[in-house]
Structure 1
Amino acid sequence: MPLSEREKMAAGDWYRCLDDELAEMRMAARRAVFTHNSTAPDDRGNITPDLLALLGSAAPDARIEAPFHCAYGCHIHLGAQVFINAGCVFLDSADIRIGAGSMLGPTVQIYCPQHHTDPSLRKDGLEIARPVQIGENVWVGGGAIILGGVTIGDNAIIGAGAVVTRDVPANVTVVGNPARPIERR
């Protein structure tokens, strides 16, 4: 029996994102995100129950500010004391794992899917998903973009507006587009 598009996505194979099962999963995420984003700050807490139930895992003290957007939610894993600032977008067609104590500034974007380079296959929704791993105590500056397949080591700093296309070793600061290491002062 052939694999479903969801199974292909989970296996890291090429899959068609224009699929009924995946569309239902994205709709469930939209509903949970809508509730989170429209709940009054005094009532929201760290993460609203609907969004928390959708996530793959989250420590009790992980916090997601509103507004927030994710594609599926179920592939997001947040360690202790993770802070996600306002306006972040996670296209989590693969796992996004963020280690304890890491902080993401406003409007950080994490993109796991990569569309096909062939225009006819791209038109049909063919894409592949690559995971993102962010270590512990990482600081990601506002407006940074992290592409799929990237691993960021513990204690790294991603400068505001950086576009991270390659792995970042532990204890390294990167800035720019594409992100490149600089020496810390």
Structure 2
Amino acid sequence: MVTGKRYRAAMPQFQEGLRKAQLIVRRFNDMSPDDVDGRMALLRGFFAKCGERVQINQPMRCDWGCNISIGHDTFINFNLTILDEAPVTIGNHVFIGPNVSIFTACHPLDAEERNTGDEWAEPVTIGDNVWIGGCVTILPGVTVGHDSVIGAGSVVTKDVAPHTVVAGNPAGVIRHI
């Protein structure tokens, strides 16, 4: 999956891995909001990397967890969804609003080919000092450059250059900062 090559998503070993990850996500979401240390300890053992002073509000969802890396001093509001079939890297000092979705999984456009269950994944990278507004969707293969802002409700289909404000569906450049 993480190599970008095609794979069959319904393979039993994938289903077992997804089930195990779902159990960890459920545990995280069911933990008391007062148990900050316990919630972060759980995520540090689940994610590939989770920096210091990271706050992730409940609930959150992800597919694997082990493909997610988060830098330090990052705030993530509630209802984050990450389909992390490929690596998802979130930098330092990132603010992510509520109801944000980050997708790495890709499916064929041709219906017959799509019905085979084959898919592939493309990584998503979010640089340092990025602010992502609420209800943003980031599609597979996108890199968001350092010091950028993504306006609320945007669908990010292409890379975002550093020091840039983008918004809309599809997200377009509003201005450079």
**TM-score when normalising by structure 1:** 0.91
What's the offset of the Cα at 1:46? 7.7
Deviations 1:102-154 (A, max 9, x none): 11100100010011122223222211100000000000000000001000000
**Count of residues paired in the alignment:** 177
Residue of structure 2 equivalent to 1:126: 118
Q: Distance in 2 between matches of 1:47 and 1:39?
A: 7
In the alignment, does 2:59 pair up with 1:67? yes
Q: Distance in 2 between matches of 1:26 and 1:67?
A: 17
Aligned match for 1:23, one of 15, 21, 25: 15
Deviations 1:2-30 (A, max 9, x none): xxxxxxx1221111111111111111111
- List gaps (5 residues or longer) in structure 1: 1-8
Deviations 1:17-71 (A, max 9, x none): 1111111111111111101101111124483433331111111322211000001
Q: Distance in 2 between matches of 1:84 and 1:30?
A: 19
Whether the aligned pair in 2 keeps the contact of 1:46 and 1:63 (CA below 8 Å) is no
- List gaps (5 residues or longer) in structure 2: none
RMSD between superposed Cα atoms in Å:
1.5
Moved segments of 4+, more than 6 Å: none
In the alignment, does 2:147 pair up with 1:151? no
**SS in structure 1 at match of 2:42:** helix
Q: How does 1:1-185 map to 2 (within 5 A)?
A: 9-45=1-37, 47-183=39-175
Whether the aligned pair in 2 keeps the contact of 1:78 and 1:100 (CA below 8 Å) is yes
Q: Distance in 2 between matches of 1:69 and 1:169?
A: 27
More displaced, 104-113 or 18-27? 18-27
Q: Distance in 1 between matches of 2:31 and 2:101?
A: 22
